[in-house]
Amino acid sequence: MSDQHAELKLFVDGAWQAGEGRDTGPVFNPATGAAIAEVPLATAADLDAALSAADRGFRRWRDTDVETRAGILRKAAALMRERVDAIATLLTREQGKVIAEARAEVIGSAGVFDWYAEEAKRAYGRVLVRPAGQRSIVLRQPVGPVAALSPWNFPVYLLAKKLGPALAAGCSVIAKPPEETPGCTSAFFRCLLDAGLPADVCQLVFGVPDQVSRHLLASDVIRKVSFTGSVPVGKHLMRLAADGVKRITLELGGHAPVLVFADCDLEKTLDMVVPQKFRNAGQVCVSPTRFHVEEPIYEAFLKGFAERAKALPVGDGSDPASRMGPLANRRRPEAIEALVNDATAKGARALAGGERGEGGYFFQPTLLADVPLEADIMTNEPFGPVAVTRSFRTEDEALEQANRLPYGLAAFAFTENGRRTNRLGDAIEAGMVGINTFAISVPDAPFGGVKVSGFGSEGGSEGFDSYCVVKAVHQA
Ligand code: NAD
């Protein structure tokens, strides 16, 4: 058992709590498969205590002046930057990503808090045109206590993207980060407490996910749910939210197409797409995944991609020489192996990787060419280090492929043709389109999907608004 993890606890109603008959769950280091800690799982009594604290905390926080709220968020961001090494080390040990990516995740989270600290001050309403002496005003107010359910692929950043806008807007929060990565999210959470966040404004619980979400969503206290994760779980939570008519934001993953046109700068494109594909071992909801490449450059694209993929140093994320770490949990290599085997059995060519790695939860950086549309991987999100490729002849054919699936989160294209850029931006069915760029997850822009990828946005003023309700006040 690691000393770094000796203190894993829940934070409920102003106190860190563990033991006392609570069940625990194991935490693993994905680079070795070794158990490194035990995380306490919340009981029904813990969740009830969290709900009543959140109810109280909401009234206090809603009425706290915006400068104080913003100041606490800014201070928490500063603490994250100060503690980046400690938080990133925990993140890599629990999740597997390489240490440089873990550091970038923590720094990015601080950026989200800073941005929302400023946005909180711009929660302006409207004054409507009325006869002299009369007033009608539209107010934006915090929606109420929030259940924030975040996943294991970016455990710190995706928690920050829920807590930043919710706290900025004046909501209280019960956060349930993933049980796979409790140490880094607890260390992140401590930044908020040490920055002066009142103890009842934010609760941190771990537990059996379905028990926690059912308990929280059944309570009248919770007014809004924000979930990032898989489509089936999102649908399940939407049903639970419907009973209490709770607002819900769902970010449910995708299967991002990448349209590579013959007029792109091929070497530059390859230098961008290959590291991006294998970032976080492909466990990114907006990971570039279905590569549709224009016929004249298809073979050159495959050759350049395979060379780069084979040369990528894979290893324990804590080794600074590693460029890709293991997958985050035991389920992922199993799922990816099944998808790759299905594709090759149906005629796809594996030009790089295709197999699990040694020890831990590793899977090799993999390139599959000529993948038939009937292969499961052309429809099901791989969420791993696999690029699937096909060639196309016309722009219309490429667009048809891009829009073929029920997903609509992110899409990318590489082209030097300006008119085409406009056409693609208009026609691709996705919440985010990156043309000659992957920089689509930034604090000031909305991030979210269409179709089964979910609805609502995290990021930008849209992300702030998702934690607000509007009220019209009329005076005669
Ligand atoms: P899963 O469907 O079991 O769980 C997905 C996430 O939801 C996990 O974080 C899990 O803890 C949580 N969860 C599960 N049941 C829940 C419930 N009833 N209430 C609340 N939370 C619940 O899948 P998994 O094996 O953990 O991940 C595999 C798939 O999940 C991936 O293929 C990917 O599609 C999706 N995923 C997406 C994202 C994203 O960023 N959109 C992140 C993580 C996972």
What is the per-residue pLDDT across 225-242, written as a single tens digit (0 to 9) for each? Answer: 999 999 999 999 999 999
Instruction: Spell out the residues 6+ positions from residue 111 whose beta carbon is closer than 8 angstroms to its own.
Output: 77, 443
In the chain, % of residues over pLDDT 70: 99
Our answer on whether the CB atom of 152 is closer than 6 Å to any ligand 1 atom is: yes
Instruction: Spell out the residues 6+ positions from residue 474 whose beta carbon is closer than 8 angstroms to its own.
Output: 134, 135, 136
Atom of ligand 1 nearest to the CA of 232: 2
Q: What is the mean pLDDT of residues 10-15?
A: 96
- Structure confidence at residue 4 (pLDDT): 54
Q: What is the spatial distance between Cα 394 and Cα 114, in angstroms, rounded to a whole number?
A: 44
Residue in the block written with tokens 């090494």: 85
Element (H, E) at 305: helix 295-310
pLDDT at 465 over 70: yes
pLDDT digits (tens, 9 = 90+) for 305-344: 999 999 999 999 999 999 999 999 999 999 999 999 999 9
Atom 35 in ligand 1: which residue has the minimum CA distance? Answer: 230
Q: Classify 466 in phi/psi space as left (phi over 0), alpha (psi -120 to 50) or beta.
A: alpha
CB 176 within 8 A of CB 150: yes
CATH of 3-252+452-475, one of 3.30.360.10, 3.90.1640.10, 3.80.10.10, 3.40.605.10: 3.40.605.10
Atom 28 in ligand 1: which residue has the minimum CA distance? Answer: 230
Atom 13 in ligand 1: which residue has the minimum CA distance? Answer: 209
Task: Tell how far the Cα of 248 is from the centroid of ligand 1, in angstroms.
Answer: 16
Atom 1 in ligand 1: which residue has the minimum CA distance? Answer: 230
pLDDT at 209 over 70: yes
Q: Is 171 helix (H, G, I), strand (E, B) or coil?
A: coil
Q: What is the mean pLDDT of residues 395-419?
A: 97
Task: Tell how far the Cα of 285 is from the centroid of ligand 1, in angstroms.
Answer: 11
- Structure confidence at residue 459 (pLDDT): 95
Q: Tell me the pLDDT band of 91, cut-offs 50, 70 and 90.
A: very high
Task: Tell how far the Cα of 233 is from the centroid of ligand 1, in angstroms.
Answer: 7
pTM across the whole model: 0.97
Atom 17 in ligand 1: which residue has the minimum CA distance? Answer: 210
pLDDT digits (tens, 9 = 90+) for 334-363: 999 999 999 999 999 999 999 999 889 999
Instruction: Spell out the residues 6+ positions from residue 16 whose beta carbon is closer than 8 angstroms to its own.
Output: 7, 9, 10
Our answer on whether the CB atom of 209 is closer than 6 Å to any ligand 1 atom is: yes
Our answer on whether the CB atom of 236 is closer than 6 Å to any ligand 1 atom is: yes
Mutate to test the pocket of ligand 1, among 222, 230, 246 (most ligand atoms within 8 A of CB): 230
CB 169 within 8 A of CB 69: no
Average pLDDT, rounded, for the chain: 97
Terminal-residue alpha carbon distance, the chain: 67
Q: Tell me the pLDDT band of 214, cut-offs 50, 70 and 90.
A: very high
| Identical topology for domains 3-252+452-475 and 256-442 | no
Q: Tell me the pLDDT band of 19, cut-offs 50, 70 and 90.
A: confident
Atom of ligand 1 nearest to the CA of 180: 11
Task: Tell how far the Cα of 230 is from the centroid of ligand 1, in angstroms.
Answer: 5
CB 280 within 8 A of CB 368: no
pLDDT at 383 over 70: yes
Q: What is the spatial distance between Cα 353 and Cα 297, in angstroms, rounded to a whole number?
A: 22
Q: What is the spatial distance between Cα 292 and Cα 179, in angstroms, rounded to a whole number?
A: 36
- Sequence-ordered alpha helix ranges (H) in 15-132: 44-62, 66-82, 84-95, 99-119
Amino acid at 258: V
Task: Tell how far the Cα of 211 is from the centroid of ligand 1, in angstroms.
Answer: 15
**Which 8-state DSSP code applies to residue 11?**
E
Q: What is the spatial distance between Cα 225 and Cα 217, in angstroms, rounded to a whole number?
A: 8
pLDDT at 75 over 50: yes
- Structure confidence at residue 415 (pLDDT): 98
- Structure confidence at residue 243 (pLDDT): 95
**Which has the closest alpha carbon to 310: 344, 269, 278, 341?**
278
- Structure confidence at residue 112 (pLDDT): 98
Amino acid at 399: L
- Structure confidence at residue 3 (pLDDT): 46
- Structure confidence at residue 358 (pLDDT): 86
Task: Tell how far the Cα of 151 is from the centroid of ligand 1, in angstroms.
Answer: 6
| Four-point Cα dihedral 208, 13, 146, 66, nearest 10 | -150
Our answer on whether the CB atom of 151 is closer than 6 Å to any ligand 1 atom is: yes
Q: What is the spatial distance between Cα 410 and Cα 459, in angstroms, rounded to a whole number?
A: 15
Instruction: Spell out the residues 6+ positions from residue 2 whose beta carbon is closer than 8 angstroms to its own.
Output: 36, 37, 93
Our answer on whether the CB atom of 213 is closer than 6 Å to any ligand 1 atom is: yes
Q: What is the mean pLDDT of residues 191-202?
A: 97
Element (H, E) at 188: helix 182-194
- Structure confidence at residue 2 (pLDDT): 46
Atom 25 in ligand 1: which residue has the minimum CA distance? Answer: 331
In the chain, % of residues over pLDDT 90: 97
Q: What is the mean pLDDT of residues 429-451?
A: 97
pLDDT at 1 over 50: no
pLDDT digits (tens, 9 = 90+) for 45-74: 999 999 999 999 999 999 999 999 999 999
Task: Tell how far the Cα of 229 is from the centroid of ligand 1, in angstroms.
Answer: 4
Atom 6 in ligand 1: which residue has the minimum CA distance? Answer: 229
pLDDT at 146 over 60: yes
CB 467 within 8 A of CB 165: yes
- Structure confidence at residue 253 (pLDDT): 87
CATH number of 256-442: 3.40.309.10
Our answer on whether the CB atom of 182 is closer than 6 Å to any ligand 1 atom is: no
CB 167 within 8 A of CB 61: yes
Catalytic residue ranges: 251, 285
